[in-house]
Chains A and B, each alone.
Chain A
Amino acid sequence: MSNKYQITIGIECHVQLATKTKLFSEVDNDARGKAPNTCVSPVDYALPGMLPRLNRTAIEMAIKVGHALNATINPLSRFDRKHYYYPDLPKGYQISQLYQPIIGAGQIELPDGTKVRIEHAHLEEDAGKLTHFGDYSLVDLNRAGTPLIEIVSMPDIHSAKHAHDYCKELWRIMTYAGVCHGDLYHGNMRFDVNISLALPDAEKLGTRAEIKNLNSFRSVERAVEYEYQRQSALLDRGERVVQETRGWSDDTGKTTSQRSKEEAQDYRYMPEPDIPPIRLSNETIAKIQATLPLMPADYRARFAGVIPADTLEILLDYPQLIRKLGEFADLLGENSPKSIQKIANIFTSVLLAEENTSLLNDPLPSAEQLRDLALMNDNQELSSTATKEVFLKFFDPEMHFKDTKTIAKELGVIQENDLDALGQIVDQVLQDPTTQQAQADFRAGQEKVLGFLVGQVMKASRGKANPSSAQALLRQKLQN
């Protein structure tokens, strides 16, 4: 990206809430793997006379989301009708919140410290799913009525990377908060990205294009990069950017103008008369917000200066790993940065290695097992290879319930640090006729044969000797 123009980006993010039932009907909200139109009720079908019945859990999740976005919760919120005519919306209107949304202004911080303000966030219902064929389309209403939270950012984002990071951070926040399954492939989170360019000294923002319905962080980043090229080329030629909705194709790597929906922009919002307002006391809000688990930003603050930022960002993609690390750090107290680093490294180097990622679905070792593992490694009872070997056994169904020392013993990988015992093994090696030549060579000044002798000690100890202790002891005995 050149930097002739300043790019300004605002993002609307739709988050599907992981409630058991839909927002306004008592129907299964989890349609994953279910046949079309099996999760529908007369309410979702909009049969005449059907009335919405508000899901209390969706309100509670919205309150949590508000807290996670460092936002205010409005003590009074209401629902409104947004009218448009489309086959995925049987009622002819979507129940949304325009005038008094449940979540007010907030702010999140990206990993590099950039702040993005949240304008507001509101609750609304999802529409059904359309599949297009030759001259007809098919409608599946399983998704119609799924609760959504739409999070609207301020235009505080000024690069493709920050657009990517913002979406990813929202995804982390929603999954940490436990309000969303976070499956992007199945559309659990979808992003609409508004992009405009202007010269850096311009007084107002340029005309924006809106790229609708992106469902991966990478698509968001690529679409922004593409739009920068497209819009800057137009501006360079003295042409205008048209305010319009555009679609993104991952295959072509381009955005294209979608059929203008200018007629449909007249939504004729009106208050929803079927749902009384939501009034929330400070006590109710505080009680629900107290159940919010630690957020990515909390872990960043906690482990700053202990775990390198890039390792930390990798771990943050796996809530179970960073939570286990937090539990481990709680058990150890804050004065053990080395042990925390050690376990963080084992997590990233062993668990995130391609051949082991299936282990991420298994229960993780207990904080106590990890504490003993770090301790045995510190005491040089376990070499770094043995440490990893024991760690992997924590996932073995036959062994995972055993304590670290027992597992290490059964594996026979505890290093011999008993100097008397080591001394005996060294003596035994030095008396062995096959090592006499090497000893003579060492005395004659050939340092490197020491490696061979250490190897013999390791062999005699069946791998349990601590190599650096063995080397020190050999040197001492040979020089006397």
Chain B
Amino acid sequence: MKISREEILHLSNLSNFSLSEEEITSLGADLENIITYISQLDELDTTGVEPTYQVFEMENVWREDEILPQEADREALLALAPEALDYQIKVPKVL
């Protein structure tokens, strides 16, 4: 399966990655290989087979609506951000 340059750029844009020219070429080739490999599954006739959403046959896994103390506090979490200001995460301007 052929992956066009435009599709690579579209995907990198969606993921907010900037790619070098070299990466555009090499990732394109990689993606083509991966998708061609996975596409072998298309040969199977799956008519009437229910899609597999998950491999554990569990249902209704939920918890009660009770507040629990958190181990990581605000300072610990903000310390992970590249930049913080006024107890908030500082990011380049977005609109």
Cβ of B52 to closest chain A Cβ, rounded Å? 9
User: What count of chain A residues pass the 8 Å CB interface test?
Assistant: 53
In the complex, are the beta carbons of B88 and A140 less than 8 A apart? yes
List of B residues within 8 angstroms of A92 by Cβ: 15
In the complex, are the beta carbons of A273 and B13 less than 8 A apart? no
List of B residues within 8 angstroms of A41 by Cβ: 70, 72
List of A residues within 8 angstroms of B85 by Cβ: 136, 138
Q: Which residue of A lies closest to B75 (CB)?
A: A37
List of B residues within 8 angstroms of A38 by Cβ: 74
Q: How far is the CA of A141 from the CA of B77 in the complex (A)?
A: 11
Interface residues in B29-88 (C-beta closer than 8 Å to A): 51, 53-54, 56, 58-68, 70-72, 74, 77-78, 80, 85-88
B16 an interface residue at 8 Å Cβ cutoff? yes
A32 an interface residue at 8 Å Cβ cutoff? no
Kindly state the interface size class of chain B when it binds its partner. 35 or more
In the complex, are the beta carbons of A137 and B92 less than 8 A apart? yes
List of B residues within 8 angstroms of A136 by Cβ: 85, 90-93
Q: How far is the CA of A318 from the CA of B40 in the complex (A)?
A: 62
Given contacts A37-B87, A136-B90, A139-B88, contact A21 B61 (CB under 8 A): no
Given contacts A20-B66, A21-B67, A275-B61, contact A36 B87 (CB under 8 A): yes
In the complex, are the beta carbons of B67 and A56 less than 8 A apart? no
Given contacts A45-B80, A133-B93, contact A83 B66 (CB under 8 A): no
Given contacts A37-B88, A42-B72, A54-B61, contact A21 B93 (CB under 8 A): no
Interface residues in A38-71 (C-beta closer than 8 Å to B): 38, 40-42, 45, 47, 53-59
A204 an interface residue at 8 Å Cβ cutoff? no
List of A residues within 8 angstroms of B92 by Cβ: 135-137
List of B residues within 8 angstroms of A208 by Cβ: none
List of B residues within 8 angstroms of A263 by Cβ: 10, 13-14
List of A residues within 8 angstroms of B91 by Cβ: 87, 136-139
A452 an interface residue at 8 Å Cβ cutoff? no
In the complex, are the beta carbons of B62 and A56 less than 8 A apart? yes
Chain A contact residues, CB within 8 Å of chain B: 19-21, 26-28, 35-38, 40-42, 45, 47, 53-59, 78, 83-87, 92, 130-141, 259, 263-264, 266, 268, 271, 273, 275-279
